[in-house]
């Protein structure tokens, strides 16, 4: 067997093999969508007698972290054919991929996990959570309807890309976990084949001066009458007033019974905006996993709420170049022989990196050990972000 990148000519076979691992077949719509953003040169595949049986790839992106935006290897298309599982192929792919990411100079890798048990052993930590939101109509009503005069425009999503791009860029700079959308990434975000709508109408955009929402309505009817669903793909607001305008519109769609959003931010404040907070349900779920590929570079790249002034004893069996003690203080992160204040492994450090999973929480879970009194509270407060991390897209 051979491990190497798949070529452009081999990428249809690559996609088929990876999707087969998820019990899916590649459609023509899939092929067109993948071609927009695929980076074959950043793929890795196992070939068995010339046939691709496992693979993974990377998108070249940037991610917002507290106080900065850093290069990020967005890991995607990870799969092993059912005929070749339990042979160590995935472990070998992950190790080579992280070595390649390090060589490329990207200090951070991130991914969405299809199964949460897989990636912790490769040093990834759960760094963000999203919320699955369901609001019940007509009881979900804003307690303070918008009073600001702000023209609303709604129509096919593709007609409003430039406005949405500008709003997204404003918000992205302040929200850890959000990724840039260069090149064809906005086109990919609006991908809306009929085969994937599950009965919903074509994707629409609602735009106001400081916000936008991507949504579609799925008409339905039952014995009690109209039972349609407003399905939100993304809602981004730069101001509270814009958020209120967007929700006021989405909660007022005739012939619908509920509004759903599977990738809302964990701190989405809609429930606080309603006359009846119980009219909306938020179910938290893991979203973005983060892996520090170059520990000192990654820790230097982000900002801190205060000076951590701590020595970290980092263990990293999967990427041994990271293992060691580091003094994190005054914006610097350098190797040291000083006595450590905290001991933790790479996955715990990845979990804390975006500032949403607190070091104190990880310590309570037995994943961080305080070795010097006061080090845990000081470092946890320093790592904490002002805003809860959110990644609004699965890649």
Catalytic amino acids?
119, 395
C-beta contacts of 279-282 below 8 A and 24+ residues apart: 279/135, 279/136, 279/139, 279/140, 279/141, 280/133, 280/134, 280/135, 280/136, 280/140, 281/133, 281/134, 281/135, 282/131, 282/132, 282/133
What phi-psi label fits residue 225: left (phi over 0), alpha (psi between -120 and 50 degrees) or beta? left
Q: How far is CA 382 from CA 136, 180, 280, 320, in A?
A: 39, 25, 33, 26
152 within 8 A of 206, measured Cβ to Cβ: yes
Taken in order 384, 387, 388, 393, the sign of the CA dihedral is negative
204-230 b/e (C-beta count within 10 Å ≥ 16 → b)? bbbbbbbbbbbbbbbeeeeeeeeebbb
Q: H helices of 282-374, where? A: 295-301, 346-352, 359-364
* Backbone CA torsion sign across 354, 356, 358, 362: negative
- Please list, in sequence order, all residues whose beta carbon lies within 8 angstroms of the beta carbon of residue 52, skipping any fewer than 6 positions away: 6, 10, 13, 14, 16, 17, 45, 46
Q: How many CB atoms lie within 10 A of CB 140?
A: 24
Q: Under a CB-based contact definition with an 8 Å cutoff, are residues 106 and 63 in contact?
A: no
End-to-end Cα, the chain, rounded Å: 28
Task: Report d(CA 20, CA 53) in Å as an integer.
Answer: 9
Summary count for the chain: helices (H), strands (E): 11, 21
- Specify whether the CB–CB gap between 293 and 99 falls below 8 A: no
């Amino acid at each position: 067997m051979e491990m190497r990148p798949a070529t452009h000519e081999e990428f249809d076979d690559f996609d088929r093999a990876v999707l087969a691992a998820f019990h899916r077949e590649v459609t023509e719509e899939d092929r067109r969508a993948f071609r927009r953003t695929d980076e074959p040169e950043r793929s890795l595949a196992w070939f068995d007698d010339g046939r691709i049986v496992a693979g993974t790839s990377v998108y070249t992106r940037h991610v917002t972290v507290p106080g900065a935006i850093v290069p990020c290897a967005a890991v995607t298309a990870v799969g092993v054919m059912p005929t070749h599982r339990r042979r160590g192929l995935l472990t070998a792919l992950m190790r080579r991929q992280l070595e390649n990411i390090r060589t490329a100079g990207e200090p951070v890798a991130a991914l969405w996990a299809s199964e949460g048990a897989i990636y912790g052993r490769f040093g990834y930590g759960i760094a963000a959570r999203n919320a699955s939101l369901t609001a019940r109509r007509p009881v979900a009503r804003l307690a303070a309807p918008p009073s600001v005069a702000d023209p609303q425009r709604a129509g096919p999503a593709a007609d409003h890309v430039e406005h949405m791009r500008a709003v997204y860029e404003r918000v992205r700079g302040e929200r850890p976990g959000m990724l840039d959308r260069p090149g064809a990434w906005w086109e990919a975000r609006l991908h809306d084949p009929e085969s994937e709508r599950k009965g919903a109408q074509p994707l629409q955009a609602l735009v106001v001066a400081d916000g936008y929402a991507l949504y579609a309505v799925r008409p339905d009817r039952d014995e009690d009458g109209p039972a349609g669903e407003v399905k939100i793909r993304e809602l981004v607001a730069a101001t509270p007033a814009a958020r209120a305008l967007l929700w006021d519109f989405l909660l007022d769609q005739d012939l619908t019974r509920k509004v759903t959003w599977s990738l809302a931010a964990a701190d989405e404040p809609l429930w606080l905006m309603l006359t009846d907070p119980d009219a909306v349900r938020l179910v938290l779920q893991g979203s973005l996993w983060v892996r520090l590929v170059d520990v000192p570079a990654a820790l230097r790249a982000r900002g801190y709420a205060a000076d951590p002034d701590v020595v970290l004893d980092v263990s990293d069996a999967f990427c041994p170049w990271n293992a060691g003690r580091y003094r994190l203080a005054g914006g610097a992160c350098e190797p040291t022989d000083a006595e450590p204040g905290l001991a933790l492994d790479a996955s715990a450090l990845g979990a804390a990196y975006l500032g949403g999973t607190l070091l104190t929480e990880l310590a309570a879970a037995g994943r961080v050990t305080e070795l010097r009194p006061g080090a845990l509270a000081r470092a946890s407060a320093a790592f904490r972000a002002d805003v809860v991390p959110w990644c609004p897209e699965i890649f």
